[in-house]
Amino acid sequence: MEPVARQLSFSVMVLLSLCGMIACAQPPPPAAPPVFRITLSRAGGFTGMATGYHLQSDGTLIAWRRALAQEEQVNWTHKYAPDEVRRWAEDLQGAVHGWQSGETGNMTTRLEFARDDSVRAWTWAGTGAPAQAPKAVGEWLQEFDRFAREAAAK
């Protein structure tokens, strides 16, 4: 092998080795936080009116209402830090673990948790916490209602 070719081969090997070391030395990018949306709504009665809240992973809390056979109308929105709202998703997942409910009534409450490409939903008759639900679900609902009312007052 000629000296120039040898020098060129050596330079290429050094360059490839350096690229490999730099690539290995870089920390992996941080994992993106999960994308979720929590919806709590209450609907029914003789008007068929629905009201509710969407809490999104980007920190947006949206209060809305919907008349029968109409699109949602936004009442107000409030922005929180994404880290602050992530706690609501984590607490909800813990509270509903293993619980299922698919009841309906004249007035029906619906709780929905959408995360990435999956959606879990619970419905029950009435507007309060369901009697058959785990205690943690009732506590989560009370705290979330308080959180939403405080946001509405801001």
pLDDT in tens, 36-57: 999 999 999 888 899 999 999 9
| Beta-strand pair 73-79/60-66 | antiparallel
Give the closest residue to 80 by CA, choosing from 122, 27, 38, 43: 38
If you search the block for the tokens 């419905």, which residue do you land on? 123
**Predicted confidence (pLDDT) per residue in 93-103, tens digit:** 999 999 999 99
Q: How confident is the model at residue 153 (pLDDT cuts 50, 70, 90)?
A: confident
Asked if the model's pLDDT at residue 106 lies above 70, the reply is: yes
pLDDT of 64 above 90: yes
Max CA pair span of the chain: 93
Beta bridge partners of 109: 42, 124
Structure tokens at 152: 């509405």
Q: Which fold has domain 36-153?
A: Mago nashi protein (3.30.1560)
Tokens 């993106």 correspond to 32
